[in-house]
Amino acid sequence: MNQPTSFTAPQQIPSFINGMSTPLRAGGFDIPVIDPASEEVVSHLREADAGEVDLAVTAARKAFDEGLWPRMDIKDRKDILYAISETLLSNAEELSALEVIHTGLPISAVRHQVKRAAENFEMFAEVASNVSGQTYTQTKNYLTYVTREPKGVGALIAPWNAPLALASMRVATCIAFGNTCVLKPSEYTPLSMLRMVELFHEAGLPNGVVNLVNGRGHVTGVSLVGHQGIDMVGFTGGSPTGRSIMAAAGHNLKPCILELGGKSANIVFDSADFEQALDGALLGIYANNGQMCLAGSRILLQRGIADRFIEQFVARAKTIRVGHPMSESTEMGPVAYKKHMEHVLSYVDIAVQEGATLLTGGRRADGFDKGYYIEPTAVLAPNNKTRVCQEEMFGPFASFVIFDTLEDAIRIANESPFGLVSYVWSQNLTETMRCSRDIRAGVIWVNTPLMRELRAPFGGYKESGIGRDGATTSAEFFTEYKTTTIPIDPVKMARLGTSA
Ligand code: NAD
């Protein structure tokens, strides 16, 4: 329904190495790509085995060790990064259509994500052009200067929940500083990724700077992260995967930046602007089909407004337009794949067994013959220790908890293995300042949902990650410092071996 026929998925998704699609090997392993709205197989990806990963790393290595990209004048590198941004925008409809087909995300949301992908390249072009070093002159007769150099070849691994926005972020933060990379997207979402990498090259990116391999984590991902030819790992995905990636990278002494999962507290105080908080809470959990690392999935309500808030939240959740993701009016599409739908829905029984009250949803949505559509779901949990408050479900499933005091809110927000973001809705300065200071999360949003300031550090405390994306923080991770010391006058040295 409504799928633009001019942008159908290619039948086969190969790897893309050194500026071209790789020929498909006989006997290679194919993985079906399924449209979550129709449950139909729309394409197949050819899984890259260790040999193909080696080809990709070798191409990235050569482009780094011998190629122009790390040695290019920043003006020329910036021009290419800006050209990439423009090329993504001028192909936005095609990219959006491919993204909708494999993710099930509403087209209206995906259009924003294509813009965000383009913006990532512009922003990191500017950041890279402003990287500077240091000089030290305090030690007599010496000038010591510190330069920043690209670090090498990045192994970049991306998830399926917003492939264009997140994989482009990984790539832009890496290549803008002169690095090269191998990108492995999620095996669920290869369609827009291949087209994105082709477009980088149409925009003038030299061959070998960005290489693409497809496949499952335990095959392609493991081969990539464990390859001796890489210099660093940039990973966005789940916390359990982050744990094994860091262990593998650590074995080879490769540094990692890890952007992982969340179970973020969305705190609504009695003092909040009620309507703003309500709009923000609904967006915080049901936008992007509920599949956001930064979802406000634990909604903490102060007792004074709790009943009214729940009543109005539930009324609104029931009227969210669940529909085909290509329809302009759709607010929530299907979740990404069948097993994920079953995973999210399994928490309804878990919630009830733990003494929670099912407030709304909890089933596959009515009115669809096919597709992994779930009703927007919400439960009222008896306390924050329940699994529905502690585990990331990564779907359109809100868990409410009621609290009494500011201290309670902060304690409950911090009672989590995660610490990615926290939302605070309040008109009281002390409440907002105390939450900002005392909640252990990488980002605090006060009276606003989902506001990603790309220049500022983004990342998580605790099991939500290690390191931060952002202007200065990405420059820190993706460059090496080099210290050079030179004497002004010739130095007097002890002359070993001259005493005889
Ligand atoms: P996932 O961890 O299952 O997979 C992420 C990627 O890692 C995929 O490409 C997968 O193939 C690969 N992978 C899996 N095992 C691997 C291994 N052993 N070695 C190398 N690669 C491996 O995550 P997902 O289900 O694709 O995405 C959802 C998760 O991502 C959620 O937990 C979500 O919170 C998190 N996420 C975090 C952020 C952030 O910025 N913090 C953003 C988006 C999503």
User: Which residue puts its alpha carbon closest to atom 17 of ligand 1?
Assistant: 217
Ligand 1 atom closest to residue 185's alpha carbon, by position in its atom list: 9
Every domain range in the chain assigned CATH 3.40.605.10 = 5-259+470-484
Q: Which two tokens stand for residue 475?
A: 């420059």
Ligand 1 atom closest to residue 187's alpha carbon, by position in its atom list: 11
CB of 265 shorter than 6 A to ligand 1:
no
| H or E element, residue 34 | strand 30-35
CB of 182 shorter than 6 A to ligand 1:
no
Distance from the CA of 459 to the center of ligand 1, in angstroms? 14
Q: Which amino acid appears at position 179 of this protein?
A: N
* pLDDT of the residue at 1: 42
Ligand 1 atom closest to residue 222's alpha carbon, by position in its atom list: 19
DSSP-assigned letter for residue 252: T
What residues act catalytically? Answer: 259, 293
Nearest residue to 324 via CA among 81, 2, 94, 19: 2
Q: What is the dihedral of CA 263, 264, 270, 274, to 10 degrees?
A: -110
Distance from the CA of 332 to the center of ligand 1, in angstroms? 22
Angle at which helix 92-103 crosses helix 107-129, to 10 degrees, equals 120
Q: Which two tokens stand for residue 292?
A: 């956001």
Q: How many CB atoms lie within 10 A of CB 31?
A: 18
Q: How many residues does the chain have?
A: 500
d(Cα 269, Cα 431) in Å, to the nearest integer?
A: 8
CB of 241 shorter than 6 A to ligand 1:
yes
d(Cα 321, Cα 317) in Å, to the nearest integer?
A: 9
Ligand 1 atom closest to residue 245's alpha carbon, by position in its atom list: 19
User: Which residue puts its alpha carbon closest to atom 42 of ligand 1?
Assistant: 293
Every domain range in the chain assigned CATH 3.40.309.10 = 265-446
CB of 105 shorter than 6 A to ligand 1:
no
Q: Model-level pTM? A: 0.97
Per-residue pLDDT of the chain (500 residues; tens, 9 = 90+): 444 446 889 999 999 999 999 998 888 999 999 999 999 999 999 999 999 999 999 999 999 999 999 999 999 999 999 999 999 999 999 999 999 999 999 999 999 999 999 999 999 999 999 999 999 999 999 999 999 999 999 999 999 999 999 999 999 999 999 999 999 999 999 999 999 999 999 999 999 999 999 999 999 999 999 999 999 999 999 999 999 999 999 999 999 999 999 999 999 999 999 999 999 999 999 999 999 999 999 999 999 999 999 999 999 999 999 999 999 999 999 999 999 999 999 999 999 999 999 999 999 999 999 999 999 999 999 999 999 999 999 999 999 999 999 999 999 999 999 999 999 999 999 999 999 999 999 999 999 999 999 999 999 999 999 999 999 999 999 999 999 999 999 999 999 999 87
* pLDDT of the residue at 7: 80
What do you get for the CA distance between the two ends of the chain, in Å?
93
Architecture label for domain 265-446:
3-Layer(aba) Sandwich (3.40)
* pLDDT of the residue at 500: 72
Q: How many CA atoms lie within 13 A of 325 on its CB side?
A: 30
Q: How many CB atoms lie within 10 A of CB 84?
A: 29
Nearest residue to 397 via CA among 305, 277, 289, 325: 289
> Longest Cα pair distance anywhere in the chain, in angstroms?
98
Distance from the CA of 129 to the center of ligand 1, in angstroms? 30
CB of 47 shorter than 6 A to ligand 1:
no
CB of 195 shorter than 6 A to ligand 1:
no
Cα distances from 53 to residues 19, 78, 361, in angstroms, run 15, 28, 43
User: Which of 120, 156, 161 gets mutated to test ligand 1 (max ligand atoms within 8 A of its CB)?
Assistant: 161
d(Cα 213, Cα 193) in Å, to the nearest integer?
A: 10
Distance from the CA of 222 to the center of ligand 1, in angstroms? 13
Q: Which amino acid appears at position 282 of this protein?
A: L
d(Cα 344, Cα 351) in Å, to the nearest integer?
A: 11
CB of 246 shorter than 6 A to ligand 1:
no
CB of 392 shorter than 6 A to ligand 1:
yes
Is residue 302 within 8 Å of 404, Cβ to Cβ? yes
User: Which residue puts its alpha carbon closest to atom 10 of ligand 1?
Assistant: 217
CB of 35 shorter than 6 A to ligand 1:
no
Residue ranges of E strands in 159-262: 180-184, 210-212, 232-236, 256-259
pLDDT digits (tens, 9 = 90+) for 243-297: 999 999 999 999 999 999 999 999 999 999 999 999 999 999 999 999 999 999 9
d(Cα 87, Cα 80) in Å, to the nearest integer?
A: 10
Is residue 198 within 8 Å of 187, Cβ to Cβ? no
Ligand 1 atom closest to residue 464's alpha carbon, by position in its atom list: 41
pLDDT digits (tens, 9 = 90+) for 457-491: 999 999 999 999 999 999 999 999 999 999 999 99
Q: Which two tokens stand for residue 19?
A: 């500026």
Distance from the CA of 388 to the center of ligand 1, in angstroms? 20
Q: What is the CATH number of domain 5-259+470-484?
A: 3.40.605.10
Distance from the CA of 471 to the center of ligand 1, in angstroms? 23
d(Cα 422, Cα 450) in Å, to the nearest integer?
A: 10
| SS3 state at 241 | helix
Nearest residue to 36 via CA among 397, 398, 395: 395
Distance from the CA of 261 to the center of ligand 1, in angstroms? 8
Distance from the CA of 29 to the center of ligand 1, in angstroms? 21
CB of 122 shorter than 6 A to ligand 1:
no
d(Cα 142, Cα 139) in Å, to the nearest integer?
A: 6
CB of 262 shorter than 6 A to ligand 1:
yes
Ligand 1 atom closest to residue 184's alpha carbon, by position in its atom list: 9
CB of 157 shorter than 6 A to ligand 1:
yes
Q: How many CB atoms lie within 10 A of CB 243?
A: 13
